[in-house]
Amino acid sequence: MQIIDLSKTIQYNAGDPFFMKVKIKHKAHKSARWLVRLFGLPFRLFPKKFSGWADDVIKKMGVHSTTHMDAPWHYSPTCMGQAAKTIDQVPLEWCYGPGVVIDMAHKEDFDPITTADIKGFLQRENITLEPGMIVLIKTGRDKLMGTKDFFYKGTGMSAEATEWLIGQGIKVMGIDQWGWDLPLPYLISEAKKSNNSELFWEAHLVGVDHEYCHMEQLTNLDALPTQGFEVAAFPLKIKGGSGAPARVVALIRE
């Protein structure tokens, strides 16, 4: 079986916007020697091969800063008239299933992905979506990770396309760019030009009326076939979280 990592490496990237920057402090092995000494073990009784253990502290990392899954709670406090699920309440059954890659890499920056785009691809590839599948949208913008362009460029899912996927029984879907919608800086610019407040997060806001999760900042979708693999996408179990980092992998069985 081949396992393909679809997750972004958690590290500091100078090109990330300030609210996405990750800061990790790496502690050398020798620092642990003093910690053990403070617990009462004299240095003379340390194992001869013990140089100390390495340790690390995540000093700053938002739950949406790297490859992550958004919970229904992220989109709205309610979903379908009830309290929306937080990330620790998302059923694990949603997070593992047959995968499908929908190739939208041809879409230009700021050109939204429509239902017709999705249906056209599925028809050409002779793919039928089934409930429980995990749909991955390939835009190719993962190549911009670590650069300033990652936040500013990309296509994005439309509300209609997101709702259509949910209607096919898809509970979890994901994309290999900064966000699920069109880039935020572009939407801000367009809203100012048109004085239209309804441009923002149209795909996210589908989650007010339809329960689903999406993943953002996936990578390496180029390494996958269109279908014939499984996806495991388990988020950290953060109590009350709006989302959580996830180690997302694809499993290709021989």
DSSP 23-70: EEEEEPTTHHHHHHHHTT--GGGS-TT-----EEEEEE--TTSSSEEE
The domain spans of the chain are: 23-60, 63-252
Q: How far is Cα 12 from Cα 25, in angstroms, rounded to an integer?
A: 10
Q: Which of 12-16, 112-116, 241-245 is predicted least confidently? A: 12-16
Higher pLDDT, residue 27 or 207 = 207
177-218, pLDDT tens digit by residue?
A: 999 999 999 999 998 999 988 878 899 999 999 999 999 999
CB under 8 A, 24+ apart: contacts of 112-118: 112/155, 112/156, 112/157, 112/158, 112/161, 112/182, 113/137, 113/155, 113/156, 113/157, 113/158, 113/161, 114/158, 114/160, 114/161, 115/158, 115/160, 115/161, 115/164, 117/161, 118/161, 118/164, 118/165
pLDDT of 244 > 80? The answer is: yes
Looking up tokens 């994901």 gives 174
Residue 225 confidence (pLDDT): 97
Summarize pLDDT for 56-110 with one digit per residue, the tens: 999 999 999 999 999 999 999 999 999 999 999 999 999 999 999 999 999 999 9
Percent of the chain whose pLDDT exceeds 90: 81
Phi, then psi, of 17 in degrees rounded to 5: -60, 160
Mean pLDDT, the chain, rounded, equals 93
- Say if domain 63-252 classifies as CATH 3.50.30.50: yes
Identify the pLDDT of residue 34. Answer: 66
Query: From the CB of residue 120, how many other CB atoms can be counted at a distance below 10 Å?
Result: 11
> Would you state the pLDDT for residue 252?
97
Rounded average pLDDT over 30-55:
72
- In this structure, are residues 10 and 244 in contact, taking their beta carbons and an 8 Å threshold? no
Tracing tokens 């997070």 back to the chain, one arrives at 95
The tokens for 145 are 């990770």
- pTM of the model as a whole: 0.93
Is residue 128 within 8 Å of residue 91, measured between CB atoms? no
Strands 229-235 and 2-5: unpaired
pLDDT of 200 reads 81
Q: Tell me what pLDDT residue 47 has.
A: 77
Q: Is the pLDDT of residue 45 over 90?
A: no
Strand segments, DSSP code E, in the chain are: 2-5, 23-27, 55-60, 68-70, 78-79, 82-83, 96-103, 134-138, 172-175, 213-216, 229-235, 243-252
pLDDT of 199 reads 79
Question: Do the beta carbons of residue 160 and residue 117 sit within 8 Å?
Answer: no
> Closest by alpha carbon to 144, among 133, 132, 136, 153?
153
pLDDT at 44 exceeding the cut of 80: no
- pLDDT confidence of residue 198: 82
What are the backbone angles phi and psi of residue 217, rounded to the nearest 5°?
65, 40
Chain segment 130-139, per-residue pLDDT in tens: 999 999 999 9
pLDDT at 42: 78
